[in-house]
Every structure is written in C-alpha cells, then in structure tokens.
Chain A
Amino acid sequence: MSYLVLDGLSKSYGKVPALRDFSLTVEKGDIFALVGPDGAGKTTALRIVCQLIVADAGRVFLDGHNLAERFDALKSILGYMPQTFSLYQDLSVEENLIFFGGMYGVTGEAYRARRDYLYGFSNLGPFADRRAGALSGGMKQKLALSCALMHDPHLLILDEPTTGVDPLSRRQFWEILLHFRSQGTTIVVSTPYMDEVARADHAAFMFGGRRLSVGTPSDLAAQFDGQVLFLDLEPSSTLIDKLNTIDGLSARRFGSAMHLYIAKDQSPARFAGPLASLGIDTTLIRPASPSLEDRFIQLMETGA
C-alpha cells in the first residue's frame, strides 16, 4: 500500500464545495506537488490530512493506518507548515524553535543538535534573537519549515510555502526540501508555481475541488492533447485576439513570447498562409514541447 492515501475526500463550506471526491496516493520518499489556482481545494485537502478540519466524506490512510482513528499516535511523525505564517511573531527565532521542539519532546542536547543542524540549512543562526515577526518573508518561511522539521517528521505537509517569496529564497527553500527528500522524508507540497512542480516527483493538477490529472511532471506535460508551436514575438492582447481568429489555432502568452496550439493531426505548414497574412514572420515559429502550464490550461478549459 502507498504511504499516504487520500480516498474520496469531499468537503463543503456551507453550500460551497471545496473538495469533490478527491483521491490521491503518495509514495514513501516522494515530493508530491498539488498544483492549482486559488480555490482549487489544495489547502482544504492538506488541512484534512492534518486533521484540522473533518472531511464530509472519504478517508485518509498514513502508512496503512486510518489517520482519523490513530491521529494522536501519528501526530509525532507529521510536520505541517500552514499557508499563512503561523509561528509566534513576538517570540524570537530561537524561542520558536525551543517551543515547537518542546511540544514534540525535543529538548536539551537533542534540541541543540537539531537546532544547529537546521541552522545549517536555513542560515537563521545569526538571527536567532530576532523576533519572528521582524524577519523577511523568505526567512519567515525558512523558520516555519525549521519548526515543522524540529522533530524529524516522516511526512511533511507544506501549504504554499513559497507564495510571495522572492525567487532566490524560493530556490533555497526547494534545495532544503530536496535535501530532506534525500534523507527519506515524504513531502506533500501545494504550490501555484509550475516551475516548482517540475522539481517534484509526482504532481496532481487541481481545479474547482477536483483532481484534474496526476502523474510525474513530464507525464503530465506529455498528456497535452495537440501540438505546441513557439512564436518568438512580444505578446500583446490585440495580437493574441487576431491569432485566435485563425480557424484551428489558439494562442497564449508564454513568458515574453507566445505559444500557439494546433490539433495533433494538423500540419503546422497549413497555418503558414494565415499567419503571414497577419504580418507574422513565420521564421520566428518553431515546434516546442508542451509545458505543464500548457497542459494545465488545456485541462481547465476542457473541464476534463
């Protein structure tokens, strides 16, 4: 049996469904990413795993145990970092570590060893006496991660840990995650960033409380239905509107260029005429492999 199993979870807030028949299996030692826009149900799913809310239907199994039934015993192998910064802002970095370490029974020599080990990754050592509330966004997230790692959990649940964090801190944060993955920690992380998904072992696309698709990042991208062409031209909404008038072709902004989508069985050459008639230099077009984002948008639009 897989390490973490979410089996048919449903949850509504009043009449608003947040999660609909959501299932997932996470293998031991994997980094598993939940991807989707705000309101996709990522937080609800993770909070159910942490037993902070109770699902209307469905069950969660951890290492073969029904999580709801054995939660008190399983708490000590679980680490959780919520979406909003939830440490004591009026306590210092070190005081937060002492407190959360203490809650898991990590005290004395074991505490000091663990603290120094984690400082090695977070580089928070020089800020040990600073109030948590006075840390920068990236440092706050590293402190929250450190607190969640104080007791060396087997399963780490991270809810959008890098949202609103600068790119450099995001990269450092993921390096820490990859280190703990190599130590055997299973990590479930939610994120709105596609580039982070690529670093995960498996990922699930979520939208409107449903699981749209699941697989390895490369599998997910490869599930794209159609062909992708890269158009190396500065995107503008008027240009995209014009391109979308071409029958059988749709266009989308892709960074500082554009992606053109055509059906699988179409020859790209067929569109050379219509594109040229819009005044587009067809030499700027070349075939591209579909990105995770291409696939995700396709799934959202088709409502698959």
Chain B
Amino acid sequence: MRSFIGLLRKEYIQIFRDKFMLRLIFIMPVMQLIVLGYAINTDVKRIPIDVYDYDQSALSRQLVEALKAGDYFTPSFRLTADEKAPLWDLDHRFKDGHADMALIIPSHFSERLTQKDSVTVGLVADGSDANGARSGIGYASQIVRSYSKQVTGMEPLFEVRSTFLFNPESESKYFMIPGVVVTLLTMVSMMLTAMAIVREREMGTLEQVLVTPIHPVVLLMGKVTALAILSILEMSIALGIGMLWFGVPFAGSFLLLFALSGLYLLTTLGLGMFFSTVTSTQQQAMFMVWFFSIFTMLTSGFFTPISNMPNWLQQVTIVNPMRYFLVIVRGIIMKGSTLADLWPNVIALIIFGITLFVFSTLRFHKRAA
C-alpha cells in the first residue's frame, strides 16, 4: 500500500511538472468546448432570405413582416415597386453567398387571397447546406401557413404541432456539450495512459522498476489510477464550463454520471494500455490513439445519428463503446435518465470495460515479464 502511494505520488509529480502536457490537458477542454459550443452551431437563426415581391401589396408586405418576426430570417427586398424583373439574379445571389433562401410572391397575391382563392408562393433554398436548407424551408413554410390561416380565417384540414422535448429551443449546444464531455474523457484517458506507459518503456525506466520487488501489475494500476483521477477532473472542468458558461441545464444525477464515467474509464484505460503494448514510441502511441479516436467519435453518434448511417456501419457501431457512453451522458444531462432507463448501455460498458481492462493488463504483464 505504501509503495502504491509512492507510485501515485510519482505519477502526479511527473504530470504536474510537464508544463506542455499540463497545458494540453487543461486547455484542450476549453478549446473543444468553444469550437463545438459556438462554431459548430446547427441552429438556424437569421437566415438571409431574398424576397421577390411581384405583388407589392399590403398583404405581401405583411407576409414578409411575419417572416422577420421570429428572428429566423433576415429578409432583403430585391424588387422595387415598379420593377417587374425576372428572377435573373437569384442564382447569382446564392453563389456569392448573399442569400441562402428566396421567397417569391406572385402578382395577384393579395387579390386571390381576398377572393379566398388558392395561391402559390415560391420558396427556394440553397441545397448545398442540406441541413440548413431543410430547416429553413420548414420554418418558412410554417410561417406562410399560419399567415394564410390568419388572413383567410380558414382552418387547414389538419395541422401538425411539433414540440422539442428536453430541448424546447432546439439548442444544438445542449446536444453538443455532453458529446464534448464524452470525447474529452475518452481522448484524455486513452492517450495519457498509452503515452505514459510507452514513455516508461522508451526511457528505460520500466526496466529499472521491473527489477524492484513491485509487481508489474501494481505498477500499472498505480499509473492508471492516477490517470483515471485526472481524467475525471478533466471531465468535471468540461462539464463545469458547459453548465456555467454555456448554460447547459443538468437534468439528472451527478452521482450516476460520475459513477458511470468511472465504469467507462475501465474501457478507455484498457484501450490505452492495449495501445501501449502494440507501440514502442510515444509518437506511435499518439498517432494510434488519434486514429482510433477519430473513428470512434465519428461512429458514436456524436455528430450524426447512428440511425442515419448505412446498415452495415450501424452494425459496426455495436462494438464502439463510446456509442453507449454517449447515450448515457446525453440521457443523464439532458433528459434526467436514470439507471432504470440506461441499463442496456450500462451492461454494454460493463462487458467492454472488464474485457478490455483484464485483457490489456494481462498483455502488459506478459510483455513486461
């Protein structure tokens, strides 16, 4: 026990003395959160929309006002009252990026509306950003529909009312930040473990320790314990920034989140140990972890839902442990899920964790002895 404390002590001295690594460990979460919390914003707000109003009536202007109201669109008028130009510059406006959408209001718009006759308005969107176009068209159609109802007083035959549960404003950062927490925990624990073990081998220190009465597995456990604590600390920082800075609401139980994070660490530490046994330099270990992380991240459902993937790829994600942990973390943070909701994912993590941790420990022991 005393020597175990000696091992932990040594690990922390080393970690906190390496200024470069230390900066990396603590700046990485901040950077990732800023990039993913702000830059990757899939919310649709203030879409630049060009309005081709061939009607130039009070009613057509009301429709444009309705578009403006929700902060979803910033309309700009492309035609003056006497102009009857064709849509010749629409294509051009999309190409140079001045507009992402266009609304075309035909002549006789108000005339037909007042006669309660059917009228068609045109919506065009720049489809090169497919997601943006889809939600833009969605919002605009909704606005047009409710305007039509308001003006004509006619109820449509049926109506769809949609609500986003757990994220009423459909804020993408509420969805992204739990994902960042997962990737950080994964990357940090896996990379630090692989690199710290390989460094001992590379510097020859492993050999020096192996001749001491300390069992190689005890040495390994000292290392992974130190790194597990550090990873949890890192995760807490990311979570703290997410909640305090980005205002992500936390619906579930902290205790459950941290307990299951500890469980997930068995998997990532096990993978880190495994990578250390198949590489011989820190550089190799880093590249290997990097490659593996990108792959697991992309197939975890972090950026794109697993249900959107082709069937064969969906089958591959079954062996991606991050997938299960992502469901757990998003569930606890956003929906307040409990163990009773999450148990299939928890069982998956138990299986991955024990298998990988034990397998890698044995592999390390075999290589060391």
Contact = CB atoms under 8 A, between A and B. Distances in A.
Partners in one complex: yes
Interface of A: 50-52, 72, 75-76, 78, 80, 82, 84-91, 95, 98-100, 102-105, 107, 147
B207 A86 contact: yes
B204 A86 contact: yes
Contacts of A84: 204
B204 A85 contact: yes
B14 A102 contact: no
Contacts of B214: 103
Contact of B208 (A76, A80, A90): A80
Contact of A86 (B6, B14, B208): B208
Residue among A85, A87, A102, A107 with most chain B CB within 10 A: A102
B10 A105 contact: no
Contacts of A91: 10, 13-14, 17
A103 B3 CA distance: 6
Residue among A72, A86, A91, A103 with most chain B CB within 10 A: A103
Interface in B182-225: 203-205, 207-214
A77 to B, nearest CB: 10
A79 to B, nearest CB: 8
A107 B2 contact: yes
Contact of B6 (A50, A72, A87, A98): A98
Interface of B: 2-3, 6, 9-10, 13-14, 17-18, 203-205, 207-214
A88 B204 contact: no
Nearest to B369: A51
Chain B interface, DSSP helix/strand/loop, else mixed:
helix
B213 A86 contact: no
Contacts of A52: 207, 210-211
Contacts of A95: 10, 13
Contacts of B14: 88, 90-91
Contact of A99 (B2, B10, B213): B10
Contacts of B13: 90-91, 95
A76 B207 contact: no
Nearest to A52: B207
Chain A interface, DSSP helix/strand/loop, else mixed:
loop
Given A88-B14, A88-B205, A90-B14, A80 B211 contact: yes
A75 B211 CA distance: 6
Contacts of B2: 102, 105, 107
A87 B213 contact: no
A99 B9 CA distance: 9
Contacts of A75: 211-213
A76 B3 CA distance: 14
Nearest to A72: B213
Contacts of A107: 2, 6
A87 B205 contact: yes
B210 A86 contact: no
Nearest to A91: B13
A87 B212 CA distance: 13
Nearest to B200: A88
A98 B17 CA distance: 17
A50 B211 CA distance: 7
B204 A82 contact: yes
A99 B5 CA distance: 10
A191 B282 CA distance: 31
Of all A-B residue pairs in the complex, the 6 with the closest CB atoms, nearest first, are A102-B6, A86-B204, A103-B212, A86-B208, A80-B211, A75-B213
Contacts of A72: 213
A196 to B, nearest CB: 23
22 contacts: A52-B211, A80-B211, A82-B204, A82-B207, A85-B204, A86-B205, A87-B208, A88-B14, A90-B17, A91-B10, A91-B14, A91-B17, A95-B10, A95-B13, A98-B6, A99-B6, A99-B10, A100-B208, A103-B213, A104-B212, A105-B2, A147-B208
